[in-house]
Amino acid sequence: MTTEQINPSPPGEGNPLPAGLPHVAYVLLWYPLFTQPFIFREVEGLKEHLPLTVYSLYARNLRHCSTEMRAAADSVRTFGIKAAPLFALELLRQLLTHPLRLCRLFRRSMFRRWRSLETFGENLWAFGAGLYLGRRFREDGIDMIHAPWPRGAATAAWVAADIAGVPFSTSARGDNLEPADPDLADKLSAALFVRANNAADQARIEAFDRSQARGKVALVYNSLTLPPPAVDSTASRSGGCTRKTPRLEQGPVRLLALGRFDVTKGFDVLLTACGILRERGLNFSLTLAGGGGKVMGLGHLGAQLVKMRKDLGLEKQVDMPGLISHNELPRILDEHDIFVAPCVVHASGRRDGIPNTVIEALAYALPVISTTVNALPEVVRDHETGLAIPPGDPQALAEAVLRLVGHPEEARRMGRNGALLARDMFDPHTNNLRLAELFISWYAHWKKTCAA
């Protein structure tokens, strides 16, 4: 089935989904989740081209979710602690009816050297959920399963796929590969296909362990998660964006950094660079928005960054408003001149891929200063869409800011180029069609293989 045969128009209003498409189950720990707007956009976009049902293993958490996310939550099959009796009953049923299979699945999934008790607990819950979902998927008419994350969600998908007799696929990203969970290689080997959302991670997945995933890793970039900025005919040739920023001549220069307060973000490097900028006499402000604490993977450096801001005497220049809703992002982006992504590689090997905030900043025609970590050079192209600097170098970061401030026309040109790149590389319609085509073609391949 070609892309044109899928469903180029949204369903409804005379455009129902064609018959014969695989019914896909999306398995996540939380859905929707305010830190994963790209997953939300992916799911809602795929629903225009495929029958798709979302299963959320944890209880609903709509904190900081956008209005659109909240509206979509009612269609999700959500479990959480209330489902524990269901999972326990299914465990007993499997023990009585298929004891050997249950032992095999438990040994395969849980007899691992887990890095932490938290990771073990996540996978134990996912194992129980997978037992239940295996039977539930048969009842719901599910043809294939996808886990957008290769950890707990993929554990549930792998177990459920074995019980339901259907294939599963997964995705892997920068910080999933190093440090990797002990079962990642086996999951990549068992998956029908693996989706990567950037070329750097695609290469890393294909080379992971003994290259079990080589030949079945597909690259589909994420989609833009915000509505595009206003466009007019006069702006279309320069990225289609009518924003007046960067307004670098008017001062103070408004810097913006968004993300989890996590070790991979390099925000400590950014604050050190801000100290250098102040010493150099630059009139600037920085909005450093994000969250701390370990809940939902938000990092744990909040208190450290607040203390660092105070120690450097930057409390007047650096605003730390905390977590912001996705609804607020267009306004925040529109109010700033330069976006900064000083990402680093942690000693454990953890690293980002392409932070979604970088994609949105490019789409809003902000010139981006980023490091050369992992996949960032795919979008932050030095002197084309922004400036690329070495990771962990506050002096280079400060010099990059001064470069853009001193060359405002060059900064505006980079912003326009970035908007063009984001519009093309992260186009929701194109990328969702590509992803839908992957599900259809790989499912057809699986059925053909089973029939052989």
CATH number reported for the structural domain that contains residue 22 in this entry: 3.40.50.2000
Q: Say what the pLDDT of residue 7 is.
A: 57
**54 and 130 belong to one structural domain:** yes
The alpha carbon of 281 is separated from its chain's Cα centroid by a whole number of angstroms, namely 37
Q: Is residue 228 part of a domain?
A: no
pLDDT at 164 over 60: yes
**81 and 216 belong to one structural domain:** yes
Q: Say what the pLDDT of residue 251 is.
A: 76
pLDDT band at 230 (very low <50, low <70, confident <90, very high): low
Q: Is residue 148 part of a domain?
A: yes
CB atoms near residue 51 (< 10 Å): 16
Q: Is residue 366 part of a domain?
A: yes
Quick check: 420 and 239 in contact, CB under 8 A?
Answer: yes
Q: Say what the pLDDT of residue 237 is.
A: 43
Q: Which two tokens stand for residue 233?
A: 């005919």
Q: Say what the pLDDT of residue 404 is.
A: 97
Q: How far apart are CA 107 and CA 88, in angstroms?
A: 18
**190 and 124 belong to one structural domain:** yes
Q: How far apart are CA 296 and CA 39, in angstroms?
A: 15
Q: Which two tokens stand for residue 99?
A: 């004891």
6-12: long-range contacts, CB 8 A cutoff, minimum separation 24: 6/49, 6/50, 6/433, 6/436, 6/437, 6/440, 7/48, 7/49, 7/50, 7/436, 8/433, 9/48, 10/48, 11/47, 11/48
**7 and 52 belong to one structural domain:** yes
Give me the phi and psi of 322, to 5 degrees please.
Answer: 85, -160
**55 and 202 belong to one structural domain:** yes
Q: Which two tokens stand for residue 442?
A: 């790989």
pLDDT above 90 covers a percentage of the chain that reads 79
Q: Is residue 231 part of a domain?
A: no
**124 and 161 belong to one structural domain:** yes
CB atoms near residue 120 (< 10 Å): 14
The arithmetic mean of pLDDT across residues 115-136, rounded, is 96
3-state secondary structure labels for all residues of the chain: CCHHHHCCCCCCCCCCCCCCCCCEEEEECCCCCCCCHHHHHHHHHHCCCCCEEEEECCCCCCCCCCHHHHHHHHHCEECCHHHHHHHHHHHHHHHHHCHHHHHHHHHHHHCCCCCCHHHHHHHHHHHHHHHHHHHHHHHHCCCEEEECCCCHHHHHHHHHHHHHCCCEEEECCHHHHCCCCCCHHHHHHHCCCEEECCHHHHHHHHHCCCCCCCCCEEECCCCCCCCCCCCCCCCHHHCCCCCCCCCCCCCCEEEEEEEEECHHHCHHHHHHHHHHHHHCCCCEEEEEEEECCCHHHCECCHHHHHHHHHHCCCCCCEEEEECCCHHHHHHHHHCCCEEEECCCCCCCCCCCCCCHHHHHHHHCCCCEEEECCCCHHHCCCECCCEEEECCCCHHHHHHHHHHHHHCHHHHHHHHHHHHHHHHHHCCHHHHHHHHHHHHHHHHHHHHHHHHC
Which stretch of 47-51, 124-128, 301-305, 425-429 has the lowest confidence by average pLDDT? Answer: 301-305
Quick check: 256 and 401 in contact, CB under 8 A?
Answer: no
Average pLDDT, the chain: 91
pLDDT at 338 over 70: yes
Q: Is residue 421 part of a domain?
A: yes
**168 and 61 belong to one structural domain:** yes
**283 and 176 belong to one structural domain:** no
Q: Say what the pLDDT of residue 18 is.
A: 85
Q: Say what the pLDDT of residue 30 is.
A: 96
Which stretch of 16-20, 227-231, 285-289, 441-445 has the lowest confidence by average pLDDT? Answer: 227-231
Q: Say what the pLDDT of residue 299 is.
A: 64
Q: How far apart are CA 138 and CA 166, in angstroms?
A: 9
pTM given for the model: 0.90
Count of structural domains within the chain: 2
Q: Is residue 396 part of a domain?
A: yes
Q: Is residue 437 part of a domain?
A: yes
Written as one letter, the residue type at 399 is E
Q: Which residues contact 140 (CB under 8 A, 6 or more apart)?
A: 23, 25, 53
Q: How far apart are CA 309 and CA 317, in angstroms?
A: 9
**419 and 296 belong to one structural domain:** yes
Q: Is residue 418 part of a domain?
A: yes
Range of the domain at 364: 236-425
219: which strand partners? 196
**250 and 185 belong to one structural domain:** no
**13 and 110 belong to one structural domain:** yes
Q: Say what the pLDDT of residue 403 is.
A: 97
**311 and 175 belong to one structural domain:** no
Q: Say what the pLDDT of residue 12 is.
A: 46
Condensed to tens digits (0 to 9), the pLDDT of residues 28-44 reads 999 999 989 999 999 99
